[in-house]
Structure 1
Amino acid sequence: MSAPEKIVAESRTEFGKGAARRIRRDNKIPAVVYGHGNEPVHVILPGHQTMMALKHGGANALLALDIDGSEQLALTKDIQVDPIRRVIEHLDFVAVIRGEKVTVDVPIHVVGEAGPDTLVVNENTVVSVEAEATHIPEFFEVSVEGLPAATQILAKELDLPSGTTLLADEELLIVNVTEQISAEALEAELEEAEAEAGIEHDPSDDEIAEAQEEAIAEDAAAEGDSDSE
């Protein structure tokens, strides 16, 4: 992880929905910093600079907040985003100190192409680790290049940097490379599962058309037989 970006924070003194809307109209973000047994610290952050810092810092972005002239390292814990406008509405941080160990969930990035006729299933997209607050890995890279079907990659096989400790179960399945199933086999499995569950199979448009063609052909054959009698 790169050095935390420094951001000047304003102390927040007004609260409530109206005050929050005014903050957002000024292109700023209301936030709160928790931790270390202290009272929560409510602040206002510059919108664009903060969004860019979070984008570059990844899922566990660490910021150096300048609050009334004092620096506070703050680890991102919750980001509330407007579902329509896709802008940040509120941020929660946890206060940390340099050298402190923290527990975080680090994303898994799968790269490469597995062997032919395989399907790569990312069974777990994050893994829990303990790391120094200023040295949190942005992600763990897992290569599946050329791997054959029936290959499984477990948490204990991840390449962890120095100072990072795995907290998740060592046998946690991260990536599963399976044999790719054909469309015909998949349809057969679905029909079997539906039959076992007592679910009637709804015919597809192709099946309906095929049945109609067969009925027309049978009718035509029957008419031919009656004409010849």
Structure 2
Amino acid sequence: MSSPDAGEEREGPVIRDKRRIDPETGKVRERPAEQKAAPGPAAESGTASPPAENEEIDKLKAQLQERTEDLQRVQAEFSNYRKRVERDRAAVREQALANVLTELLPVLDDIGRAREHGELTGGFKSVAEALEATLTKLGLQQYGEKGEPFDPTVHEALLHSYSPEVTETTCSEVLQPGYRLGERILRPARVAVAEPGEPPEPEEPKQEQEPTAEAAGEPDSSGESGSSDDK
């Protein structure tokens, strides 16, 4: 048998090594030039996408934009609704608390008068202090001090006077303390107000002049009438 020539092609399967990593060197093999620039379908055909396909894509994009805007609008409306509900719930709670605290103000006035007269002693003192501490924890604040500037939005003037010792309208005396709950005024402080300046002097009453005898038509000392009638 004769040996095949060196230039003769061998028959049988041809094995090509397409592994990305070279098993001998462990490095990444470079891809052949023909594989790097593999043409796509559009390049192979040499034509762009048909107009009908572009219109369909634009239509889908417009629908997506519209649905996105609808979703954003619904989300904003829900967020505003949630904030409004929370705000209304807080307002209802504050109003209910204000109503309860307003009903307790006369009790606090009685406690204050008892403290001023030295009658706040024993168990009554402990109960009063516990009540005041609880109401303070709920947000009730007492205000109104002697010597503070008069503010018609939080003070109610019951008495008025003048004083050279003040430079502005001042609360000269607190007749009844005021109470507030946060920014809400439950009861204004009832005070006596003093304005700067000297008190005006009282005007003297004018004395009325008595009519003379001639003006009254009475007879004079000679017995003759003041009239000029003929006898």
TM-score, L = length of structure 2: 0.23
Q: Which has the larger radius of gyration?
A: 2
| Bigger strand share | 1
